[in-house]
Amino acid sequence: MSVWRGDANAGELQHFQVPQQENQTILDLVTWIQRETEPGLAYRFSCRVGMCGSCAMMINGIPRWACRTHVQKVVQGNQVTIEPLRNMPVIRDLVCDMSEFFAKWKQAEGQFRGGKSRYDAVEQLKPDTPKRRAANAAIECINCGICYSACDVVSWNKSYLGPAALNRAWSLLNDERDQHSLLRLKAVASDAGCHNCHSHQSCTQYCPNELNPTGAIAGLKRMAAVAALRGDI
Amino acid sequence: MLRPHRRHALWVAFLLHRISGLGLAIFLPVHFLVLGLALEDSETMDRLLLWSDSVLVKLAEFGLVFLLAVHLFGGLRLLALEFLPWSNRQKTFAALALAGSFLLACLFLIRAV
């Protein structure tokens, strides 16, 4: 197993011999290395079951979640190469600085802004309206950063908000309770927004939760076009 | 060689669209230049037309028609992606665009030779 070691300035691949077992995940191997041979190895994980989104890394050049990636499925000639996620500054070894990723989430107005208080009755929502279905389809993002790391437009244009932030904005724009639609639409239709997307669809290809950020971004483009024609934005 | 995260059908479709666009951008000025010869230098134009009957040029034209078709169908695919309700058949659409372009280019070649 080759593991990238280094910091924000420089680094290189370090090679380890690891035991091969059945039903072994990449996270198992990284943990084995840290516990048995290299205690200084830095990496992130938490839930180990694909819920928290903290263990994402480049596995043989493809962004994946380490905890749900079986070694058998990705091993190439008895060898696996592990590197930190692309498109994010490295802090150390496999740990990236995700500040910018989350800052863009805020920049895309990714915060729910309801119009009711605790004294109002709970709003009744029909689960089968087209807008609610669109909101639900995009809502299960765990912010692992895999789509952001897979996206070449993020590499080419550092200000681009990226698939996760835009997917979140799409979910909220379809949420009938949210009161901030126009502000959000302006944010996602800006220079850094949805119109940058080249529809490579790597985000959709690699999303571990099988979400469809490309579809969400296409929806935002349509929504922004209609709003622009109406003179709203 | 494509980097691993780019090795999927729809990234290749993007690449083909970009390459075909660049290819056409290079071809079009030359095309207009040759057409302009009809007004300014008809003898050279005739020589070029005779030269364009050769098999090698016909094969190159096959490539050109393919690029034109793949850019047209690829562009329609992108317009549909962005302006029509989402469909999960994106890879199928890309494959259809490729197959349609190849078919069109083959039809051109059959008629040309």
User: Which of A186-200, A207-221, B33-47 shows the lowest per-residue confidence on average (mean pLDDT)?
Assistant: B33-47
Q: Which of A62, A201, A219 sits opposite B10 (nearest CB)?
A: A201
Instruction: Tokens for B49, please give them.
Output: 């037309």
- Cα–Cα distance between A105 and A147 in angstroms, integer? 13
How many residues are there in chain A? 233
Name beta bridge partners: A83: A58
- In the predicted structure, residue B23 carries a pLDDT above the cut 90: yes
ipTM at complex level: 0.90
| Touching A: B residues 67-106, CB under 8 Å | 78, 81-83, 86, 90
Select from A197, A199, A211, A220 the residue whose CB has the most chain B CBs within 10 Å, as the one to mutate to test that interface.
A199
Summarised one tens digit per residue, pLDDT across range A170-189 is 999 999 999 999 999 999 99
- Letter for the amino acid at A218? A
Q: Is B45 helix (H, G, I), strand (E, B) or coil?
A: helix
End-to-end CA distance of chain A: 51
What's the pTM value of the predicted model, to 2 decimals? 0.92
Average pLDDT value for residue range B24-53 = 91
Q: Which domains does chain A have, with CATH numbers?
A: 2-96 (3.10.20.30), 99-230 (1.10.1060.10)
Within 8 A of B81 by CB-CB distance, chain A residues are 199, 214, 218
Backbone phi, psi, residue A37, to 5°: -130, -35
The angle, 0 to 180 degrees and rounded to 10, between the axes of the packed helices B55-83 and A213-230 is: 70
Q: How many CB atoms lie within 10 A of CB A84?
A: 25
Look at residue B113 and tell me whether its pLDDT is greater than 90.
no
Cα separation, A153 vs A151, in Å, equals 5
Q: How far is A73 from chain B (nearest CA, A)?
A: 15
**Which residues are A11's β-sheet partners?**
A6
Q: pLDDT tens-digit profile of A42-95?
A: 999 999 999 999 999 999 999 999 999 999 999 999 999 999 999 999 999 999
Distance CA A171, CA A180 (A): 12
Cα B106 from Cα B100, distance rounded (Å): 10
